[in-house]
Structure 1
């Protein structure tokens, strides 16, 4: 291939890539989500494993699935998810209210308001709520299928079996690898 042909091919490839980037599905205008409200007006009320309300603040639909941010109001004293990992997502929490204990790999961290914790993808983690009420900001990068996961768990009407829990986690890019944390 001659130099001019090579340059033409490379420029065509860059032009094509640029048009693909323009067609990304994301919000192109800023927005505000008021306190106590969810991005699209629909809170996720988890049932079964924990009784938590999650309000989406920034949706994967806003970011071409690169990021999702939720505000979680935790209502399950001494409750939390099973030990699990996310196959393709990093996760972080910022504690607004209450006390929590997190396990990340083999390490335990006690968390109070103002604390932040990072949970890398493919590293087993879980948390337990140590106060009657708590509130956190939780974020997933990339967004993955977390919105769908919280919508699915909102449909539960009774405590699901361990098998059902494991299947719902797996259907949304996660793997259950152990039991929930104990408070003591």
Structure 2
């Protein structure tokens, strides 16, 4: 990218952020907060597929719906079904471990220190390749992902394929295919 183009883009982004702040659209939190390692924003630790941690670190309630941040701690080599967020971009920052990602039709491996951007409307999925893994991921705007995970946590039994598809739809996402497999 040329320096001039980068500076123009950075200026446009900064201008947009200032407008959002002036309009009062970025945050509803009235003071700072810290979510300690191992903690979740509101003390709820919804497991992912019954085994891995999937904690809210910054809630959409904190940002007037503009952003939600989650921490995923994986002890099993699993990942989500191929899915799409209709109204949110998703950003993954790999803290520990190695993952195989698919965004659109492209598959690639990422490891600690790497960041993946999955634009709204583009199908994506991933699978953990290492025995342990940690990623911090964000959705922007926050949408209903936090509520989706809380609803999953309240299920009394494993959802059927059809019920999980309906659940995704009711929270602004669509399941398009199975999870990636290591086989």
Q: Could you state the TM-score of these two structures normalised by the residue count of structure 2? A: 0.82
Structure 1 residues 60-71: aligned runs within 5 Å:
60-71=60-71
Q: CA RMSD in A?
A: 2.0
Structure 1 residues 61-140: aligned runs within 5 Å:
61-77=61-77, 79-140=78-139
| 1:152 corresponding residue in structure 2 | 151
| 2:59 corresponding residue in structure 1 | 59
Would the aligned equivalents of 1:99 and 1:131 in 2 still touch at CA under 8 Å? yes
Q: In the superposition, relative to structure 1, how do residues 41 and 115 fare at CA in structure 2: closer, same or farther (>3 Å)?
A: same
Structure 1 unpaired stretches of 5+: 1-19
| 1:169 corresponding residue in structure 2 | 168
| 1:4 corresponding residue in structure 2 | none
Larger radius of gyration: 1
Alpha-carbon displacement from aligned partner over 1:108-166 (angstroms, at most 9, x marks no partner): 11011111000000000010111222110010000000110110111234432110110
Q: Classify the secondary structure of the residue corresponding to 1:61.
A: helix
Q: Quote the offset at 1:54 in angstroms.
A: 1.4
Greater CA drift, 158-167 or 53-62: 158-167
Alpha-carbon distance in 1 for matches of 2:181, 2:123: 16
Greater CA drift, 161-170 or 85-94: 161-170
Alpha-carbon distance in 1 for matches of 2:38, 2:181: 30
Structure 2 unpaired stretches of 5+: 1-21
Q: Quote the offset at 1:182 in angstroms.
A: 1.6
| 2:43 corresponding residue in structure 1 | 41
Would the aligned equivalents of 1:47 and 1:156 in 2 still touch at CA under 8 Å? no
| 1:28 corresponding residue in structure 2 | 30
Alpha-carbon distance in 2 for matches of 1:126, 1:23: 30
Would the aligned equivalents of 2:101 and 2:108 in 1 still touch at CA under 8 Å? yes
